[in-house]
Amino acid sequence: MSKSTRWKDLERAVAATLGGRRIVRQDFFETAPDVIVTDSGLIAECKAYRRFKHHSLLETAQRKYGHNGQTVILVTKTERQVGAYVTLPLDYLADLLNQVRNQPPHCGKRRTTDDQNHIPRGNVPSRPSRCSTP
């Protein structure tokens, strides 16, 4: 499979899996994301290479800890980076999005604790309300 076909196929698969829209550029000097998932506000930049170092880290963790149907994610952070990044399986993200899509909008007070352990979540970022009433 050629490199051109590989990244195009990846973009198509990501758009289909996440319920998004692939952005086709006529001019490659034009700046645009690869996939937009409008209902969730996600923008996907798709890269198809032979290898990624962090994929081997995730695969190792999956072999060690991913038993009994558990999904392993990889969280990475550089020395002075603000925040962290998460790498997770695409199908798992699609399942999360579908769960959110099938839930009624959360119109009450935002939870500030982890319900299972009653642990404060800390500073919970605010989101625009999806409620129809104030």
Q: What are the residue boundaries of the structural domains of the chain, listed by start? A: 1-50, 51-106
Which pair of tokens denotes residue 18? 């996440």
Q: What is the pLDDT of residues 17-66, one digit of tens each?
A: 999 999 998 877 778 999 999 999 999 999 998 889 899 999 999 999 98
Strand (E) or helix (H) holding 37: strand 35-37
Higher pLDDT, 57 or 131: 57
pLDDT at residue 99 tops 80: yes
Q: Would the pTM count as exceeding 0.85? A: no
Which of left, alpha, beta for 129 (phi over 0: left; psi -120 to 50: alpha)?
beta
CA distance 72 to 58: 7
Please tell me the number of Cα atoms within 13 Å of 69 on its side-chain side.
0
Average pLDDT, the chain: 81
CA distance 7 to 41: 22
Percent of the chain with pLDDT over 90: 57
Question: Do 97 and 19 touch, CB atoms closer than 8 A?
Answer: yes
- Dihedral of CA atoms 118, 123, 127, 130 in degrees, nearest 10, equals 20
For residue 133, count CB atoms less than 10 angstroms from its CB and return exposed for 0-12, middle for 13-18, buried for 19 or more.
Answer: exposed
